[in-house]
Copies of this chain bind each other. A is one copy, B any other.
Amino acid sequence: MFIAMNRFKINRGHEADFEAVWRERESFLDGVPGFEQFHLLKGPSSDQFTLYASHSVWRSRSAFEAWTESEAFRKAHTQANPRKGTYIGHPELETFESVL
């Protein structure tokens, strides 16, 4: 099992906007080879930001990497973005492989 998590720091007060953008976008993930599951996760909040993570489960690292080079990926990433001031910094991608 392979998990890709993209971590987003969202300025306090922008949480509802950020969630709405994800709710309204089309993921184009159905039918992508090796794709298993997607969730948008809400993590802990500090005074400054709320941590969110997109959490996708794949059969393997190579299935995930093939998707990042696909037309489905390109289409998913040309959609509307949250408005200015939503993010603190850039999203940080972390990938994990299951060892147990």
Binding site for B on A (CB under 8 A): 1, 3, 19, 22-23, 39-44, 51-53, 55, 94-100
CA distance A97 to B19 in the complex (A): 13
Copies in the complex: 2
What 4 A-B pairs have minimum CB-CB distances, sorted nearest first?
A41-B96, A40-B100, A39-B98, A43-B96
CA distance A74 to B95 in the complex (A): 30
User: Is the contact region of chain A dominated by helix, strand, or loop, or is it mixed?
Assistant: strand
Cross-chain contact A40 with B99 (CB below 8 angstroms): yes
A99-B41 contact in complex given A51-B94, A94-B51, C-beta closer than 8 Å: yes
Give every chain B residue within 8 A of A97 (Cβ-Cβ): 41-42
Give every chain B residue within 8 A of A98 (Cβ-Cβ): 39-42
Given contacts A22-B100, A42-B98, A55-B96, 8 further A-B contacts (CB under 8 A): A3-B55, A19-B100, A22-B99, A39-B98, A41-B98, A42-B96, A42-B99, A44-B94
